[in-house]
């Protein structure tokens, strides 16, 4: 009986070590984007050539999803930012919203966390996503930047 308990205990300990090793082995990836008016598609309705921004963050994959932690900054917009998102789209092409970042309460310096799918991760890694900040004067987008992923 004592030998059997020892084997079960040893098996449980080994399982805990495997799980701990997997958690410790999770890789964090960095994401970033430099936002400006030149990248905006379609072009701005109300010109704001000096509007700029930045998007930075990290994500950690967990099987079929990942946790994205991000920060968004911007300045010199034509007015209050009304919303911001990560969209699907290569440089020069507009696309659908993938990840909402803020709506209504958008302000420079905002941070947040989002759960994203492995499909979104793959699209980011392939250079197929961009961050877009929208304003009342430029509802289709005022500044934009392609997301870059680094290890």
Query: Per-residue pLDDT for the chain (151 aa), expressed as one digit of tens each?
Result: 556 555 544 444 444 433 444 445 578 999 999 999 999 999 999 999 999 999 999 999 999 999 999 999 999 999 999 999 999 999 999 999 999 999 988 999 999 999 999 999 999 999 999 999 999 999 999 999 999 998 7
pLDDT attached to residue 22: 44
Label residue 104 left, alpha or beta by phi (over 0 means left) and psi (-120 to 50 means alpha).
left
Domain of residue 39, residue span: 27-150
For the whole model, what pTM was predicted?
0.82
Q: DSSP letters of 78-146? A: SS-EEEEEEEE--TT----EEEEEEESS--TTEEEEEEEEHHHHHHHHTT-EEEEEEESSSTT-SEEEE
- Domain contains 1: no
- Domain contains 42: yes
pLDDT attached to residue 9: 47
Token look-up 């699907």 returns: 88
pLDDT attached to residue 16: 41
- Domain contains 13: no
- Domain contains 77: yes
- Domain contains 38: yes
- Domain contains 5: no
> What is the domain count for the chain?
1
């Amino acid at each position: 009986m004592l030998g059997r308990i020892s084997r079960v205990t040893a098996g449980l300990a080994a399982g805990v070590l495997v799980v701990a090793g997997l958690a410790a082995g999770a890789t964090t990836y960095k994401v970033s984007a430099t936002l400006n008016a030149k990248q905006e598609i379609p072009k701005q309705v109300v010109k704001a050539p000096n509007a700029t921004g930045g998007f930075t963050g990290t994500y950690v994959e967990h099987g079929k999803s990942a946790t994205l932690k991000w920060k968004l900054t911007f300045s010199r917009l034509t007015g209050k930012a009304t919303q911001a998102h990560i969209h699907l789209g290569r440089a020069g092409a507009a696309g659908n919203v993938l990840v909402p970042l803020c709506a209504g309460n958008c302000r420079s310096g905002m941070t947040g966390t989002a759960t994203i799918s492995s499909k979104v991760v793959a699209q980011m890694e392939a250079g197929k996503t961009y961050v877009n900040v929208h304003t009342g004067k430029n509802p289709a987008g005022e500044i934009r930047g392609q997301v870059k992923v680094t290890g």
